[in-house]
Amino acid sequence: MTTRVFQYVVNFMATLFDKLFGCSHKSFSFPITKRRGQRGPHAASLTGTYVVCLDCGKEFPYDWQQMKVLEGRAIKARTLEAKEAKAA
């Protein structure tokens, strides 16, 4: 099995396990914005701001303009927009 396929399978299984038995991510911290030059979590790399689930500790990107947590498709759409902006 190639590395890419293996990563896909592992991510799929982790997502399935999380959906069945994991945290529902209903309680979040106040949005945290990283400072320039400060190393931040991967979740902050997309918008510069992130929130943390208070139950399990998972970090999620947060959009201040829309005032909401970005998950799933919203993250993929933002990533594609950023790639297109860099290419232009």
Say what the pLDDT of residue 8 is. 87
Domain residue ranges of the chain, discontinuous segments joined by +: 25-87
pTM of this prediction exceeds 0.75: no
**Cα separation of the two ends of the chain:** 36
**Residue 56 pLDDT:** 85
How distant, in Å, are the alpha carbons of 3, 13, 64 from that of 8?
Answer: 9, 9, 31
> Average pLDDT of each block of 10 consecutive residues along the chain (88 residues)?
82 81 84 76 77 88 86 58 60
